[in-house]
Amino acid sequence: MDSIAITGGATLNGSIPVSGAKNSALKLMAASILTDQPLLLTNMPRLADTKFLGRLLQELGVEVSERDGADGQETLFHAAQIRSTFAPYDLVRQMRASFNVLGPLLARTGEAKVSLPGGCTIGARPVDLHLQALTALGAEIELDEGYVTARAPKGLKGAEIEFPFVSVGATEHAMLAAVLAQGTTVLRKAAREPEIGDLARCLTAMGAKIEGIDTDVLTITGVTSLGGANWPVIADRIEMGSYAVAAAMAGGEVRLTKARPELMSALTDKMIEAGVEVIPTEDGVIVKRDPKQRLKAVNVTTEVYPGFATDLQAQFMALMTTAEGESVIHENIFENRFMHAPELARLGADIHVQAGEAVVKGVPVLHGAPVMATDLRASVSLVIAGLVAEGETTVGRVYHLDRGFERLEEKLGACGADIRRIKGESNEH
Is 100 annotated as contributing to ligand binding? no
pLDDT of residue 425: 67
* Catalytic site positions: 120
The answer to whether residue 190 is domain-embedded is yes
Same domain, 202 and 351: no
- Name the phi and psi angles at 329, rounded to 5: -115, 120
Predicted confidence (pLDDT) per residue in 336-387, tens digit: 789 999 999 999 999 999 989 999 999 999 999 999 998 887 899 999 999 9
Same domain, 177 and 41: yes
Q: Tell me the three state secondary structure of residue 171.
A: helix
Same domain, 87 and 102: yes
The answer to whether residue 82 is domain-embedded is yes
Same domain, 339 and 200: no
The answer to whether residue 360 is domain-embedded is yes
Give Cα 216 to chain centroid, integer Å. Answer: 20
Same domain, 297 and 345: yes
Whether the pLDDT of residue 92 is over 50: the answer is yes
Is 127 annotated as contributing to ligand binding? yes
Handedness of CA 303, 309, 315, 321 (dihedral sign): negative
Is 83 annotated as contributing to ligand binding? no
Same domain, 410 and 341: yes
Mean pLDDT of 58-65: 98
| Number of domains making up the chain | 2
Is 67 annotated as contributing to ligand binding? no
Same domain, 220 and 131: yes
Is 128 annotated as contributing to ligand binding? yes
pLDDT of residue 426: 54
- Asked whether 148 and 113 are in contact (CB, 8 A), the reply is yes
The answer to whether residue 87 is domain-embedded is yes
The answer to whether residue 428 is domain-embedded is no
- Asked whether 51 and 286 are in contact (CB, 8 A), the reply is no
Mean pLDDT, rounded, of the chain: 94
Whether the pLDDT of residue 404 is over 80: the answer is yes
Is 88 annotated as contributing to ligand binding? no
Whether the pLDDT of residue 231 is over 50: the answer is yes
Same domain, 290 and 169: no
Same domain, 202 and 331: no
Of 232, 261, 283, the residue at which a domain comes to its end is 232
Same domain, 65 and 110: yes
CATH code of residue 358: 3.65.10.10
pLDDT of residue 135: 97
What's the number of CA atoms in the CB half-sphere (13 Å) around residue 175? 36
Predicted confidence (pLDDT) per residue in 123-151, tens digit: 445 789 999 999 999 999 999 988 999 99
The answer to whether residue 404 is domain-embedded is yes
Of 232, 248, 283, the residue at which a domain comes to its end is 232
Domain that holds residue 58: 24-232
CA angle 378–379–381, rounded 5-degree value: 65
Is 129 annotated as contributing to ligand binding? yes
pLDDT of residue 288: 98
Same domain, 271 and 382: yes
Of 212, 232, 252, the residue at which a domain comes to its end is 232
The CA distance from 366 to 24, in Å, is 35
